[in-house]
Structure 1
Amino acid sequence: MQHEIPIATSGPNADSMSEAVNTCIRCGFCLSACPTYDVLQRESDTPRGRIILMKEVLEGSMPAEQAAPHLDACLGCLACEPACPSGVSYRHLLSPYRALVHDRVRTAWPQRLRRWLAAQTLPYSGRFRLAAKLGIMTRSLAKLVPSSLRPMLELLPSELPSRSTLQPSYPALGESVGRVALLAGCAQQVLAPQINDATIAVLTHIGLEVIVPPKQGCCGSLAWHVGDGKRASAFARHNIAAFLAREQTFDAIVTNAAGCGSGMQEYEMILRGTDIETKAAEFASLVHDVSLVVAEHADRLRLRRPPSLRDGESMLRVAYHDACHLANAQGVRLQPRELLCRIPGVELVDVSESHLCCGSAGTYNIDQPEVASELGRRKAKAVLATGAPVVVSGNIGCLTQLQTHLQQSTSAGHPVPRVMHTMEFLRECLDD
């Protein structure tokens, strides 16, 4: 007989957590879809095994610290959800569980330090820019940096792009077909501000006015995914107030980072049981990935052949990498591919084992550097096997991970594939 999770210990998400646990029939279909099981080959590091561990902790038969190493090793990539024949909603269990046990589990000081540094820098573009500059300057002295912090340095580019400031609004070009708000992001605006520039260019090209609410902040996804529910709630409340101000109405709230989008779509879960749960649900319903929004108006796109095509070449091979929080969390797989296939002269190819995460997953690179690096190497090898000179994806974390491991995996004398956001590639091919 199945046991229900005690509601008293499970908080406002008790019902959905209990349903996720009790829907799992332990069939094992999730094993082949789980990246960490593929690397670690331990039953306790499968979705099935982790569900059992969470159930035992929540029922009081296992201390949270005993289960912590296996729950911390979970990417949260949600590849298990489309593989599950029973329809287990793993997303409604993992993050709420992590939030519940967040203050009950003592972690080793290196992990506490990494998480504290990430929490104090990544969500704040000004702080992150300063920290990234310091990191780049000290990378040559990596041997003097504690080993626990070196993974953070390895992910930084050789130099930062110039600071870019977004305007509060951008008018639609030609006939207006709607009005959207854009989440600017935190680390992305520091590491790759051209992604937002390209996004705005594509959206205005198809006739959408773009508003960038000036008081917006971090989406809170990084905090939510590591179980810092208090910080995630504060970020969520802040953005709801910034985007849903009385004088503002939008057809959609657009994101161009898969992790941010999936986190914002979980605002109702993050704020369940609070005074603004209904408003959080309203906000979440408006959040859409930019590829969905552009696909709705795809007939308005005027596209030309990629400028990187050389004379005499008829096709440019482009590899598409599925960001987990776009494909699995948001269910967006076809639209980016359909947009890319509209471009004349593009041969779109998929990356093998596309269901396996690249190893980025928010702060996973920082928390679990060994597993993240192994997954990054595998993904780079799969990309190189396509022979494509360009690889495209829809998430800043994936793009950073791909860039890092492609540079490490490409043989000397061979060109490193160009890593681009979907909107960057589309912008290059706009026929203005």
Structure 2
Amino acid sequence: CEAPLVEATTQHFDSCLGCLACVTTCPSGVQYDKLISATRHQVERNQPRTLPEQIIRSLIFNLFPYPGRLRPLLTPLYFYQKLGLQKLVRATGLLKQVFPRLAAMDSILPSITLDAFRDKLPEVIPAQGKKRYRVGMIIGCVQRLFFSPVNAATVRVLTANGCEVVIPKTQGCCAALPEHQGQTKQAKIMARQMIDSFEGTGVEAVIINAAGCGHTLKEYGHILKDDPEYREKAQKFADTVKDVQEFLSEVGLTVKLSPLKDEPLTMVYQDACHLLHGQKISVQPRQLLRQIPGVQLREPLDAALCCGSAGVYNMLQPEVADELGQQKVENLLNTGAELIASANPGCSLQIKKHLQLRGKETTLMHPMELLDYSIRGVKLES
């Protein structure tokens, strides 16, 4: 029998991070990720939301997965930061009192750079030297706007290691955001579009450099299991998806790596939940980073603890997210590492926020940026 969907049930599932630690922990192998996704779909269909909740959720789901809609907002956001308005708003604390969830969004807003205003990567980037593989690459939504240097670094690392990279211009959102929040119809539309965008490209693997996106892409077979037209195509596509660290660990690096500093570099790798629990990827990033000469990896206390980002959780449940973010950053800082490596944009924004709140200037970079520096012989600033 089915349990009735009451307000308490909704509150429980809204409070769930979706970090998937339960999937890893369960001795019986229960696929809680699929149960959570299915229940959230029912919550969104049947449980009424307050007007403020409706507004913030509508804003998130109608903007964030659509770079074309989000990009026009970059200009006012750019001047909002450059003219010092953001500092003023944060100093007064007024936004947090009046619109706490908008304040939560502002608190993780990254610095807007000119790179965010247009996509610079061409559709096909040739391999350097002998071509070993032809791979596709997904450039994401938030990733392409706010973390375009990570995408550029990923391309350089792949091409330096013999990969021809294909980036279809028709690709959109991978569906991670709506799928994680029970917006099933929207997620299915986006999944179909993504599959179509790579059809006929002849790629041997589809590469992704963001943890949450990778987990959803690998679930396309499940997401479209009831679609007779896309069922087989979805599973075939999902089988080709590889996190970039997973892929490079499998095929191996072929280029020489240089030290990032003249002296040893202490570093801590932050496990993103959708890599650690969602894709069982934890060893591979560490293996790659240890190949950089002079790198000394340190392990944090409770490495599996969620940072509180959890997709858009830190915007919808900012109080709980802040508690987790504070603890996560404390654990990372307690390692004494000079640098934090993180392979997920949401985690990076959350960790940077709590580093800033502590007045810490610890460097945070994506592993692909570090490998790219090492390949090109670029040294980190001391």
TM-score (structure 1 length as normaliser): 0.81
Partner SS state of residue 404, structure 1: helix
Structure 2 residue ranges without an equivalent (≥5)? 378-382
Deviations 1:373-395 (A, max 9, x none): 11111111111111111100111
Q: Does the Cα contact within 8 Å between 1:202 and 1:423 map onto a contact in 2?
A: yes
Equivalents in 2 of 1:364, 1:135: separation in Å? 22
**Structure 2 residue matching 1:69: 3-state secondary structure:** helix
Give the ranges of 4+ consecutive aligned residues of structure 1 lying more than 6 Å apart after TM superposition: none
CA distance in 2, matches of 1:212, 1:61: 45
Q: Note the residue ranges of structure 1 that are not aligned, 5 or more in a row.
A: 1-58
Residue 254 of structure 1 aligns to a residue whose secondary structure is: strand
- Which stretch of the first structure deviates more once superposed, 347-356 or 166-175? 347-356
Separation in 2, partners of 1:130, 1:151? 21
The residue that corresponds to 1:82 in the other structure is 24
Q: Which residue does the alignment assign to 1:377?
A: 326
**Corresponding residue number in structure 1 for 2:238:** 284
| SS at structure 1 position matched to 2:375 | coil
Q: Structure 2 CA distance, aligned partners of 1:131 and 1:255?
A: 25
Counterpart among 293, 296, 315 of residue 344 in structure 1? 293
Highest Rg: 1 or 2? Answer: 1
Q: CA deviation at 1:84?
A: 1.6
After TM superposition, the structure 1 = structure 2 runs for residues 301-320 of structure 1, keeping only pairs within 5 Å, are 301-306=255-260, 309-310=261-262, 313=263, 315-320=264-269
| CA distance in 1: counterparts of 2:15 and 2:204, whole angstroms | 38
1:117 is displaced (CA, Å) by 0.8
Q: Which amino acid aligns with 2:136?
A: A
Among 372, 376, 380, the residue aligned to 1:427 = 372
Structure 1 residues 409-424: aligned runs within 5 Å? 409-410=358-359, 416-424=361-369
Cα distance, 1:363 vs structure 2: 0.8
**Residue 254 (structure 2) aligns with:** 300
Q: Using the TM superposition, name which of 228-237 and 261-270 deviates more.
A: 261-270
Q: Is the 8 A contact 2:257 2:293 kept in 1?
A: yes
Q: CA-to-partner distance for each residue in 1:66-93, whole Å, 9 max, x for gaps?
A: 3000111111111112222111111121
**Residue 380 of structure 2 corresponds to which residue in structure 1?**
none
Aligned to 2:226: 273
Alignment check: 8 A CA contact 1:267 1:280 kept: yes
2:238 partner SS: helix
1:20-419 counterparts in 2 under 5 A? 59-135=1-77, 137=80, 139=86, 140-141=88-89, 143=94, 146-162=99-115, 163=117, 164-244=119-199, 246=200, 248-275=201-228, 276-306=230-260, 309-310=261-262, 313=263, 315-410=264-359, 416-419=361-364
Residues 341 and 102 (structure 1), Cα distance of their counterparts in 2 relative to 1, 3 Å cut: same
Amino acid at match of 1:262: H
How many Å separate the matches in 2 of 1:338 and 1:203?
17
Counterpart-to-counterpart distance in 1, 2:213 and 2:202: 21
Q: CA deviation at 1:103?
A: 1.1
RMSD, aligned α-carbons:
1.6
Count of matched residue pairs: 363
How far residue 296 of structure 1 moved from its aligned partner, in angstroms, is 2.1
What letter is aligned with 2:50?
A
